Amino acid sequence: MASKDKIIKLLLCIAVLIFISNHSLVFSQTDPQRNDETGSYYLQLKTSEFQKAMLPREKFLLDIAKNTSEELKTRQLEGKNTSNISLDEIVSPQKRIMEDYLAELDNVTALLDEISDLERKARQKVNFQVLEALSQLRERVKAIINGSINAFNPDNTEEKTKNKTDTPNSTVQSESKSDKNLNINEPSPADIFEEWKYNRILEFKMKLSRWKLLRTKLLNSAGQTEYARMFRRAMRSALEHYQAGDLLTARLEFEDILNTYNKIRILDDLYYFSGEAAY
């Protein structure tokens, strides 16, 4: 009888151990997935926040490109000499000015579409491939800046192949198994996001500097009439954003007007609208 009780207790212990072992395996398999899903969703939010922060700046750049293009076209229609502005230093050839402006318009439109898509997916809480999406965005932006992109590093590939060839089979198998579990050479989604964000900001600053330089040349060669006309265009753009409730873009444009048009007697209304947009 005592022997039978011992057998029953032993079987119970074995059952408990099997239960613990199985559930430990399940937890170990599901927890990384939960962490990955949480990290991906957090990365979606970071991307959406960055897109929203960039949108007013892209609109600001678009207005500068639009107003500068309109002023240049107006002077040419008036028969004014624009050869002393040295346009080729900024946009070459000259006919690309309107194309660049239209490209900025497409950029803003695409940015709005990306934000809407991210917000829609965030509301639905759909787990989508953030890594793949950000990789594609990064490649697209880098292609704009560099003209081409090489997504592979042949030197690292050759070196890794050589090391595996010189290693005994057992070590190679162990290394291959380790690579499947942890690929230290593959950038994380957060790394890709930071690189994409850096390239996006760099591209924006390059374009903004180019259009501001062209605008400065137009201002320096402007008479009183042309100078006032450029000021009115800038004010019109800023007030349109202000009236539409787009205060972030309006703030950028009011501040730019205050810093750029120092020959104009600044009205109190401009300070008022600038302060309201900043508030």
Same domain, 104 and 240: no
**pLDDT tens, position by position, 232-277:** 999 999 999 999 999 899 999 999 998 999 887 766 677 777 777 7
Same domain, 76 and 199: yes
* Residue 59 is assigned to a structural domain of this protein: yes
* Residue 60 is assigned to a structural domain of this protein: yes
Same domain, 198 and 136: yes
Are 143 and 203 within 8 A, CB to CB? no
What pLDDT is stored for residue 45 in this prediction?
60
Integer Cα distance of 52 and 114 in angstroms: 10
Last residue of a domain, one of 174, 197, 221: 221
* Residue 213 is assigned to a structural domain of this protein: yes
Last residue of a domain, one of 221, 239, 269: 221
Same domain, 243 and 139: no
* Residue 244 is assigned to a structural domain of this protein: yes
Same domain, 226 and 210: no
pLDDT band with cut points at 50, 70 and 90 for residue 179: very low
Same domain, 198 and 231: no
Same domain, 119 and 100: yes
Q: State the total domains in the chain.
A: 2
Exposed e or buried b for every residue in 94-114, given b needs 16+ CB within 10 A?
A: eeebeebbeebeebeeebeeb
Are 61 and 204 within 8 A, CB to CB? yes
If you compute the radius of gyration of the chain from its CA atoms, what whole number of angstroms results? 30
Integer Cα distance of 84 and 74 in angstroms: 16
C-alpha distances in angstroms, 100 versus 106, 112, 143?
Answer: 10, 19, 16
Across the chain, mean pLDDT equals 67
Structural domain span for residue 105: 46-147+188-221
Same domain, 142 and 230: no
Same domain, 236 and 207: no
Share of the chain above pLDDT 70, in %: 43
For the cut 70, the answer to whether the pLDDT of residue 141 exceeds it is no
157's tokens = 């590939």
What pLDDT is stored for residue 149 in this prediction?
36
Are 43 and 189 within 8 A, CB to CB? yes
What pLDDT is stored for residue 10 in this prediction?
53
Last residue of a domain, one of 221, 240, 270: 221
Nearest to 255 by CA among 107, 63, 69: 63
What pLDDT is stored for residue 151 in this prediction?
36
* Residue 232 is assigned to a structural domain of this protein: yes
**Least reliable range by pLDDT among 3-17, 77-91, 169-183:** 169-183
Higher pLDDT, 75 or 40: 75
Same domain, 143 and 202: yes
* Residue 250 is assigned to a structural domain of this protein: yes
Same domain, 250 and 229: yes
* Residue 128 is assigned to a structural domain of this protein: yes
Angle 131-136-139 (CA atoms, 0-180°, nearest 5)?
120
pLDDT band with cut points at 50, 70 and 90 for residue 216: very high
What pLDDT is stored for residue 238 in this prediction?
93
3-state secondary structure of 70: helix
**pLDDT tens, position by position, 48-84:** 777 778 888 999 999 999 999 899 889 988 888 777 6
Same domain, 67 and 95: yes
Integer Cα distance of 158 and 166 in angstroms: 13
For the cut 60, the answer to whether the pLDDT of residue 142 exceeds it is no
pLDDT band with cut points at 50, 70 and 90 for residue 225: very high
* Residue 102 is assigned to a structural domain of this protein: yes
Higher pLDDT, 30 or 231: 231
